Amino acid sequence: MIESEDQVTRDWATALRSELGVSQKEFWAPGDVSPAMIVKYEKGEHEISRRVRRLMFIHYVIGIDLSGNLNTAKAIAAKHKAAKASMGEIVAQFNEIQRVTHRLSLAVNRITNELEA
């Protein structure tokens, strides 16, 4: 049994998949791996990404079922990304308002000084 996500290798994955008797698609589902990448991982043509190693370790070694939670996690991530983008737009608009307000204030001060002179 492996003890860390760094030990999630092609050999470990193919041996475990064989032991479990499941399809490639079913085995790699917790890692959200595309069919093309599954082939590359199992043939050793591409190193398993850190994200996939972590997800596979959590699912198969720690025993937390990720298969049902994957779509939920993706939806939360998408909402977070959208909210972050919206917040960025709001901050940019606020900063522009501050710049315009500052320019107006300078203009009012300049006009006031000219009228007093």
pTM above 0.85, yes or no: no
User: Contact at 8 Å (CB) between 19 and 1?
Assistant: no
How many percent of the chain have pLDDT more than 70? 81
Least confident span in 13-22, 28-37, 71-80, 84-93: 71-80
pLDDT digits (tens, 9 = 90+) for 20-73: 999 999 999 988 899 999 999 999 999 999 999 988 988 899 888 776 666 666
Helices of type H across the chain: 10-20, 24-28, 35-43, 50-56, 70-116
Angle at which helix 10-20 crosses helix 35-43, to 10 degrees, equals 110
The domain at 5-68 falls in which architecture? Orthogonal Bundle (1.10)
User: Contact at 8 Å (CB) between 30 and 66?
Assistant: yes
Domain boundaries, the chain: 5-68, 78-117
